[in-house]
Amino acid sequence: MADQIQRFIFDRADVRGEIAQLDAAYRQIIGRSEQSPAVQQLMGEGLVAAALLAATLKYPSALTLQLQSTGPLSLLLIQVGSDGTMRAMARTRGEVPANARLDEQASQGTLAITIEPEDGGERYQGIVDLSGGSLAAALEHYFAESEQLPTHVWLSADPERAAGLLLQRLPGPDGGPARDEDAWERAGQLAATVTGAELRELSADAVLHRLFHEEDIRLFEPSPLRFGCRCSRQRVADMLRSLGADELRETLAEQGQIQVHCDFCNEPYRFDAVDVEALCVDPTTRAAPSDTSH
């Protein structure tokens, strides 16, 4: 198994698809958090969902999938870059029930999908509810409402791997009728026979052969997916500086040092007394270089 996304199209029909599979990258991400198996499964589904969404974008963009609710799963946040780097975090209030509907795990929840073009173009956000009972159903609703594109999504995750399949009906050439009127329904019926274990354990080629061996399928070059966090000591320092000198010195006096863990990768950043004093210095008050010769 490889950490990658495989795009494909039906050569004689207006249908496209993607298979996203996560192996080592998924274990690396969930291994950095202390979450229950139920939450890890949701993180896995969210990671492949975000990868599938990002692969449908026309231009290089950063995509954020954010689920918020008043239920046991209060927050699920997934970020994927156009270079395939991804990270995830989750917050809970109480135990998240396993094998339950998503609208029970995240009651009164909403799913926000934010797209930020890397060229600085206009930011886009779409929001859907979780009434469909699963993350896959929420994504299908998102495409129907925001993109007006009929879409089927299948997601699966276990403690070792996560995978997903997306099928999408495209407009006919130049907006005309579809080249194969029955292809969309046929593709959906065939894809619906896939199991979660097959998605997770078979290669993308094997899954496509199992489902669509009687169709003319064209594969694109697979794109790698990997864990990558954007945290840094400088970013943490900037955050601490925004708290103000009084709060920083008070925290230092109480704890002896200030320690911050990244919510995504759990990397620790420690600041001792010397570091804190450096943060407390207003850069605008630092002495300018002397003109005196030595």
Render pLDDT for 79-105 as a digit per residue (tens, 0 to 9).
999 899 999 999 999 899 998 999 899
> What was the pLDDT predicted at 66?
95
> What was the pLDDT predicted at 283?
60
- Rounded to 10 deg, the angle between the 37-55 and 135-142 helix axes is 20
Tell me: pLDDT of 226 over 90.
yes
CATH topology of domain 4-227: Hsp33 domain (3.55.30)
Q: Using pLDDT thresholds of 50, 70 and 90, give the confidence band for residue 292.
A: very low
The C-alpha atoms of residue 262 and residue 77 are separated, in whole angstroms, by: 13
Tell me: pLDDT of 129 over 50.
yes
Domain range annotation of the chain: 4-227, 233-284
DSSP secondary structure, the chain, as one string:
--SEEEEEEETTSSEEEEEEEESHHHHHHHHTS---HHHHHHHHHHHHHHHHHHHT-SS-EEEEEEEE-SSSEEEEEEEE-TTSEEEEEEEESSPPPTT--HHHHTTT-EEEEEEEETTS---EEEEEE-TTSSHHHHHHHHIIIII---EEEEEEE-SS-EEEEEEEEPPPGGG---SSTTHHHHHHHHHTT--HHHHHHS-HHHHHHHHHTTS-EEEPPPEE-EE-----HHHHHHHHHTT-HHHHHHHHHHHSSEEEE-TTT--EEEE-HHHHHHHHS-GGGSPPPP----
Average pLDDT over residues 230-256: 84
The 10 Å Cβ neighbour count of residue 152 is 19
The C-alpha atoms of residue 127 and residue 111 are separated, in whole angstroms, by: 6
> What was the pLDDT predicted at 119?
82
Segment 250-291, tens digit of pLDDT: 888 888 888 887 877 878 888 888 888 888 886 654 444 434
pTM above 0.75, yes or no: yes
* Percentage, residues of the chain above pLDDT 70: 92
Tell me: pLDDT of 229 over 50.
yes
> What was the pLDDT predicted at 178?
59
Tell me which CATH code domain 233-284 carries: 3.90.1280.10
| Cβ(63)–Cβ(79) below 8 Å | yes
The dihedral through the CA atoms of 182, 217, 147, 53 has a sign that is positive
Tell me: pLDDT of 180 over 80.
no
The C-alpha atoms of residue 11 and residue 216 are separated, in whole angstroms, by: 6
Going from the C-alpha of 290 to that of each of 281, 282, 284, 293, 294, the distances in angstroms are 19, 19, 16, 8, 10
The C-alpha atoms of residue 239 and residue 250 are separated, in whole angstroms, by: 16
